[in-house]
Structure 1
Amino acid sequence: MATRVLQSSCSGLHQAKHGHLTAVIRGLSASNNRNREDSWFKSLFVRKVDPRKDAHSHLLAKKEDNNLYKIQFHNVKPECLEAYNKLCDEVLPSIHSDRSYPCELVGTWNTWYGEQDQAVHLWRYRGGYPALTEVMNKLKNNKEFLEYRNERGKMLLSRRNQLLLEFSFWNEPVPRDGPNIYELRSYQLRPGTMIEWGNYWARAISYRQHNREAVGGFFSQIGNLYMVHHLWAYKDLQSREHTRNAAWQHEGWDEVVYYTVPLIQHMDSRIMIPLKASPLQ
């Protein structure tokens, strides 16, 4: 009788300990799950940024030269687009070819698909900000340019521009024979993600060189900040589709897309046709 009571007591004690241990384990598991959920939830809103000892412009831009780029977006009155294009073809090449101006016209286009009745101009200033300032001062005394600017102003609905640097891992845009169409893909990145974007695209650009479609890659310094522009050239829309689809056949391209898409706040694509004066044809 006493033996049975003792066994029953030991069994109850064992069950109690087991129940307590199970409760502790469940509590720890629930706590760990909550911690993981909290960590995941916080990651949606908080991005850890590694401390840097230099500006991202110094880390991402080319070191061997000191080029500064300006991109201009002109929204033209629909009825004035033909006259606007003619005016640009007459005046812009004279600035481009004048050796006393440390600037070059990289390309000039009309938007075909995207924002309609729009002109896009891309300039390069060899020598950085001092070259930009020199050109601006000289243009103040250029009668032909002042007349051009006055006539141009009558044709525009709005205009905006940005100053850009080029990514070190992209080729410098050089004149190209045509006919080609050009795609300008513009990305508004989340603040603090430019280095991360550059790290991924330094590898990604190798997947997009097979058909010479990569023309230039830039990031903004003045204007809309954390803005990236990628410029591509294709023979036509069909070759664009073929080239873009072919990138997915390269191992690693899917990973680049997967990790860079979350860095983007907004993106835009323009299909553009070069004007006669454009060195990029």
Structure 2
Amino acid sequence: MANTFKYLNKLPQNIRSLSTSSSKSDAWLSKIFVRKIEPTKESHSRMLSDKEIIYSLQTHNYRPDSKVAYLQNVKNTLDFIKAESSLSKDVELVGSWTVNVGDQDQALHLWKFTGGYEKIDQYNEFVGKNKDYQRLIEEQGKIVRSRHLQYLLAFSYWPQIALRRPNNIYEIRSYALKPGTMIEWGNNWARAINFRQNNDEAFAGFFSQIGRLYNVHHIWCYNNLNGRKETRESAWRSPGWDECVAYTVPLIREMHCRIMVPTEFSPTQ
């Protein structure tokens, strides 16, 4: 307690008076930390996404000595799905990457389900009973350390996903937002995305529906790391970009960046 008063005595008089008055202090703190969330009749997913398309993001951590075997397993799984006519028209691999900078010995696979959750239910029912598919999953289980799956929706204001030609690197920037801030994030990024299209670097933008909630993933495409640096510096020179960043940073609880390279069987290169 003595240390507390010693610290307060060093503060300017106007701040000291706030600190020593509990009623004034409580009111002051409430203005900083309490957010007012406006009620809405619409779900966040309906307001932020206008597509009946669900994306599945698989994150696999494979054993360091099993990369070749792991990638072959994923390719075999992809071939299995392509060969099944009941799956191939509604289930599509968009991108497949291994992490180069960030979490080592990690791979990410982005799947697209056309037809909403109904198609995901049909897919899960089919593969759950198929012995060949289950054999592939059992084989995979022997060479991975952990797996995580998220179902995502695409932000309606992002450009449509366009597959890229070789050779590119990809950056996935993942954000854990404070609950209740997804609409604010969307409102700000609907403007911010306009500053990030000069070099066609915007690949995809998603928010989570099932899995880790209030997660956002932005995927960017660059020629190389130096191209990434130049593109990002160009955005900071654009009037208005700094303001968009200033509005969105307070919404973030945690952020994570990974540099990825496409696998040889990835549709986007």
User: Could you tell me the TM-score, scaled by structure 2's length?
Assistant: 0.87
The range that moved more, 139-148 or 77-86, is 139-148
RMSD of aligned Cα (Å): 1.9
Name which of 34, 52, 63 aligns with 1:46.
Answer: 34
Number of corresponding residues: 248
Encode CA deviations 1:207-245: one digit per residue, 9 max, x unaligned. 001111001100001111110000110011000011011
Asked if residue 247 in structure 1 is aligned to residue 235 in structure 2, the reply is yes
Q: Partners in 1 of 2:152 and 2:139 — Cα distance?
A: 27
C-alpha deviation, 1:44, in angstroms: 2.5
Deviations 1:3-40 (A, max 9, x none): xxxxxxxxxxxxxxxxxxxxxxxxxxx99xx8986554
Q: Which runs of 4+ in 1 moved over 6 A?
A: 34-37
Structure 1: which 5+ runs fail to align?
A: 1-29
Q: Does 1:77 align with 2:73?
A: no
Q: CA deviation at 1:148?
A: 1.4
Say if 1:93 and 1:231 are closer, same or farther in 2 by CA, change over 3 A: farther
The answer as to 2:113 corresponding to 1:125 is yes
Instruction: Return the match for 2:197 from 182, 205, 209.
Output: 209
Instruction: Give the distance between the partners of 2:257 and 2:214, measured in 1 at CA.
Output: 17
Letter of the aligned partner of 1:88 in structure 2? V
**Distance across 1 between alignment mates of 2:85 and 2:243:** 45
- Residue identity opposite 1:66 in structure 2: E
Q: Which residue pairs with 1:114 in the alignment?
A: 102
**Aligned AA (1:89):** K
How far the C-alpha of 1:267 sits from its partner, in A, is: 0.2
> In the alignment, what sits opposite 1:87?
73
TM-score under structure 1 length normalisation: 0.83
Q: Does 2:180 align with 1:192?
A: yes
Whether the aligned pair in 2 keeps the contact of 1:91 and 1:144 (CA below 8 Å) is no
Q: Residue 215 of structure 2 is aligned with which of 207, 227, 238? A: 227
- Whole-angstrom CA distance in 1 between matches of 2:241 and 2:36: 25
Cα distance in 1 for residues equivalent to 2:181 and 2:26: 23
Per the TM alignment, residue 139 of structure 1 is displaced from its structure 2 partner at its CA by: 1.6
**Structure 1 residue 82 displacement after superposition:** 1.5
Indicate how the Cα distance of structure 1 residues 221 and 252 shifts in structure 2: closer, same or farther if over 3 A, else same: same
Which whole-Å CA distance do the structure 1 matches of 2:260 and 2:84 have between them? 26
Distance in 1 separating the partners of 2:84 and 2:260 = 26
1:1-281 aligned at under 5 Å gives the runs 39-62=27-50, 65-96=51-82, 98-101=84-87, 102-281=90-269
Counterpart-to-counterpart distance in 2, 1:176 and 1:97? 24
Q: Is the 8 A contact 2:80 2:133 kept in 1?
A: no
Secondary structure of the corresponding residue to residue 250 of structure 1: coil
Identical amino acids, percent of aligned pairs? 47
